[in-house]
Amino acid sequence: MSNSALRLALIAAAALSLSACSALDRMKNIGNPPALSAISDPTAKPGYRPVHMPMPPPQQVVLKGDSLWRPGSRSFFKDQRAARVGDILTVHIGISDQAKLQDTTTRSRNNAEDMGVDHFGGFETKLAGMLPSGADPSKLISTNSTSNSTGAGSINRSEAVTTNVAAVITQSLPNGNMVIEGRQEVRVNFEMRELVVAGIVRPEDIASDNTIDFDKIAEARIAYGGKGQITDVQQPRYGQQALDILLPF
């Protein structure tokens, strides 16, 4: 067995093994709704990594002993906005995007080449004798080629997501910016909706009611989806997905 065939056999065996394990897990959950995830610390997840961003030089804060006003505060009394690791703030998500692209490309090229010897210092008659019978010295080489290419592409996309989600400050960066992460799961019958938001926010972008708009989040990661019986039906079967990856045509 060649290396390529052995590799394909191993990939197929691995795909079948994963499909069988997934099928067994799904068989165990027949008749049961999707299980909700346990509440956990985002920083304790296996794939969690602290965010490192370029930081400006630290600036020394000068406190005035004879002043009752705290620098950076929007209220004379205690600021109720999230500011420390573990604090919670609300993220307003109002995505309404539309994209429409249409491209057309047309290319055409014609080439023709003719080469022959009509007169060659009086030796053209001898050249005709050297060539096979019926050959014409004036038409030794004649080539032509035609190339045509036409391509067209069209994208028409419209997305709209409007919701709110509470996020937790998981990290405070040296320049004062904060890393947030929030996750929300809602189960209705046998279908569960998941919403995930993460990114970096500035303290001054947090409103006085402790909310922030999604378009003020840097490095924003927003995921809206779900899982359940309806979602499973909408997805191609594992075998079809494996064939789409393995088949070259």
Tokens coding 11:
């990939």
- pLDDT of 236 reads 79
Q: What is the mean pLDDT of residues 159-169?
A: 90
Per-residue pLDDT at 72 exceeds 60: no
Q: Please enumerate in sequence order all residues whose Cβ is within 8 A of that of 65, keeping only pairs 6 or more positions apart, or say none.
A: none
Instruction: Report residue 130: phi and psi, to 5°.
Output: -80, -25
Q: What angle (nearest 5°) sits at the alpha carbon of residue 46, between those of residues 43 and 47? A: 85
Residue 153: per-residue pLDDT: 82
Token duo for residue 45: 């997840």
Contact predicate 199/219, CB 8 Å:
yes
**Which parts of 189-244 are beta strand (E)?**
191-201, 211-213, 218-228
pLDDT-derived band at 201 (thresholds 50, 70, 90) equals: very high
Average the pLDDT over 44-48 and give the result: 86
Q: pLDDT-derived band of residue 63, with 50, 70 and 90 as boundaries?
A: low
pLDDT digits (tens, 9 = 90+) for 110-143: 888 777 766 666 666 666 667 666 566 667 677 7
Token pair of 231, please? 């979602």
Predicted confidence (pLDDT) at residue 202 exceeds the cutoff of 80: yes
Q: Please report, rounded to a whole number, the percentage of residues in the chain having pLDDT higher than 70.
A: 71
> Which pLDDT score, from 0 to 100, does residue 170 have?
92
pLDDT of residue 69: 61
Average pLDDT of every residue of the chain: 79
User: What pLDDT band is residue 47 in, cutting at 50, 70 and 90?
Assistant: confident
35 to each of 75, 119, 184, 235, how far by Cα in Å?
43, 90, 13, 20
Q: Which pTM was predicted? A: 0.59
pLDDT at 120: 63
- Report pLDDT for 178: 94
Is the confidence at residue 91, as pLDDT, over 60? yes
What are the start-end ranges of the H helices in the chain?
A: 3-28, 124-130, 229-234, 238-246
What does the domain layout of the chain look like in residue ranges?
A: 102-153
The whole-number pLDDT of residue 21 equals: 64
Predicted local distance difference test score (pLDDT) of residue 90: 95
| pLDDT beyond 60 at 199 | yes
Among residues 199, 158, 164, which one has the least CA distance to residue 94? Answer: 164
Compute the average pLDDT of residues 104-115.
81
| First-residue to last-residue Cα distance in the chain | 23
pLDDT at position 244, please?
A: 79
Write down the pLDDT at residue 218.
92
Confidence grade of residue 34 (pLDDT, cut at 50, 70, 90): confident
